[in-house]
Amino acid sequence: MKVKGFLKDVTGASRVTKARLAAFENASPLPVKVDPIAEVAKAWHPGKLELEVVSITDASPTSKTVRFKRTDGEKINFFQAGQFMTVEFALGESYVTRPYSISSCPQDARGDDSFVEITVKSADGKGLIADYICDTLKVGDKCLGTVGCGEFYYEPLRDAKHVVALAGGIGITPFASMAKEIEAGKMDFDLTVLYGANTEDDIPMKAELDALKTDKVHMVYVIGEFITADIIKKYSADDTTYMLCGPQAMYAPMHKALDELGVADRRRRFEVFGQVKDITKYGYPADKADKTFNLTVRRGISEVTVPAIGGESIVVALERAGIKIDTGCRSGECGLCRTKVLSGEVFVSPVSDGRRAADKDFSYYHACATYPLSDVTIKIPIE
C-alpha cells in the first residue's frame, strides 16, 4: 500500500467517486455485448460438455480406458492431475451420472489433439454404469461430462515434496494422472505409489505405468498382503504427504496405519469414495433397509410421488424414477444434489455429511448421502 499523505488519502474515496461518475457520463449509450471477464470464466468453467467416445482400450483383463473428446473440437484444458470428471448417460427413461477419476494427464488435454480419459473396472453385474461402460459403451457414443471436479490434487504450497500414494482397486487412476504429468515435466515432486492387489495379473494400467521413464515416479506393488504401517514407513521421507484412493474397505485400515505412524491430519489427503455400499454398517436401521417408502418430489409447481427403498439414497430413488437431478461426487461433499426436506424422517451417512452448518439448521440435505426412514417430501431445484 502506498501512502500519499494525509489529505490525499482521506479524500481518495471522493476522487474515485468523481472519476467514476465522469466515466459514466462519457460512456457510450450502447449496451456492452461482450464481457471479457465472463468469457474467461466460461472458458475455464464451461459446465457440462458434450463428449464423444473416440477409443476404448483394455487397461487390464477387467478394466477399460475410455478416451473422450469434445464434440465442438475445443480443448479440455481445465483440470488438475488427480481430479475427477462426471459422465452422464441417458439410460432408458433415466439420466444417470457417475464420477470417475481422470486417468489421463492435463498435458494430454493442452495439445491440439485434446482428450481426457477415465479408466473403469467392471463390477461383474453389480454396478449399473461401470458395467455399462465396460460391456456396452462403444466408439462414437456421446454423453455429457463435467471435467475438473474435486479437491484431490497435489498443491505445492500445502503438500510435501515427497508423496506416498496408497492405492487399491481402480484407485490407481488419479495417481496415474499425476505420474504422467510429472513425466511431462509439468509437476515437480517425488511420487511413490504403494498399490495393494491380490494378484499381479489384474492391476489397471500396469504396463503403461511401468513404462514411465521419469526417476520421480516409483511404483511398488504389494501383492497378496495388506499395506501395513511398516511398509508405508519404509517408503516415507522425513516430510511426506500421504494420498489415499481405493475401495471403501481400504480407508479405515489405511487411516489406522497412518495413526500408528503419527501422521498429522495436514499430511493426509484422501479422495471421497462414492456412496456407501451398505448404509446399515453406519447406523441405518437394518429392519428398514428393504422397506419401500413414498418419496414425494416437488419441483416448481409440479409434484410427483415415487417409491424409495430405505437402504438406497434419495438420489438413487430419483434416478430409478427418471427424475433428473445433478450429482457430482456422490459422496456428500460437492453439494450439487443439495435438496430441501420438507417433511418426513431421513438418515444422513455419518461418513459422507459434507453439509454446511446453515444447511443443517434449515433442513437442506445432499441427496446422495441421505436415506429415507419414513415417507418423505422433498423440494429440488428447477433446472
What tens digit of pLDDT does each residue of 134-147 get? 999 999 999 999 99
CA-based Rg of the chain, rounded to a whole angstrom? 24
CATH classification for the domain delimited by 162-270, as one of 3.40.50.300, 3.40.640.10, 3.40.50.620, 3.40.50.80: 3.40.50.80
User: Mean pLDDT over residues 271-278, rounded?
Assistant: 85
| pLDDT value, residue 262 | 97
What's the confidence (pLDDT) of residue 5? 62
pLDDT, the chain, mean: 92
What confidence tens digit (pLDDT) does each residue in 285-315 have? Answer: 999 999 999 999 999 889 999 999 999 999 9
Q: What number is the average pLDDT over the span 145-166?
A: 96
Burial 76-102 (b: 16+ CB within 10 A, else e): bbebbbbbbbbbbbeeeeebbbbbbbb
What value does the mean pLDDT take over residues 371-383? 92
pTM, two decimal places: 0.86
DSSP assignments along 190-242, one per residue: EEEEEEEES-STT-TTHHHHHT---TTEEEEEEESS---HHHHHHT--SSEEE
Q: Take residue 285 and report the three cell numbers written for it.
A: 436401521
Q: Are 332 and 315 in contact (CB under 8 A)?
A: no
- Residue 383 pLDDT > 70: no
Q: How much is the pLDDT for 92?
A: 78
pLDDT in tens, 189-233: 999 999 999 888 889 999 999 999 999 999 999 998 899 999 999
The alpha helices in the chain, defined as continuous H runs, are: 6-10, 12-26, 36-44, 106-110, 128-135, 173-183, 206-210, 229-234, 248-260, 314-320, 357-361
Angstrom distance (rounded) from CA 32 to CA 282: 55
Cβ atoms of 67 and 85 within 8 Å: the answer is: no
In CATH, the number for domain 45-149 is 2.40.30.10
pLDDT single digits (tens) 17-54: 888 888 888 888 888 788 888 888 877 788 899 999 99
Give the pLDDT score at 10: 63
Domain 279-379 has CATH 3.90.1150.10: no
DSSP secondary structure code for residue 253 in this structure = H
Collect all residues with Cβ–Cβ distance below 8 Å to 289 and sequence separation of at least 6: 279, 280, 309, 310, 311
Topology alike, domains 162-270 and 279-379:
no
Give the domain ranges of the chain.
45-149, 162-270, 279-379
Mean pLDDT of 305-333: 93
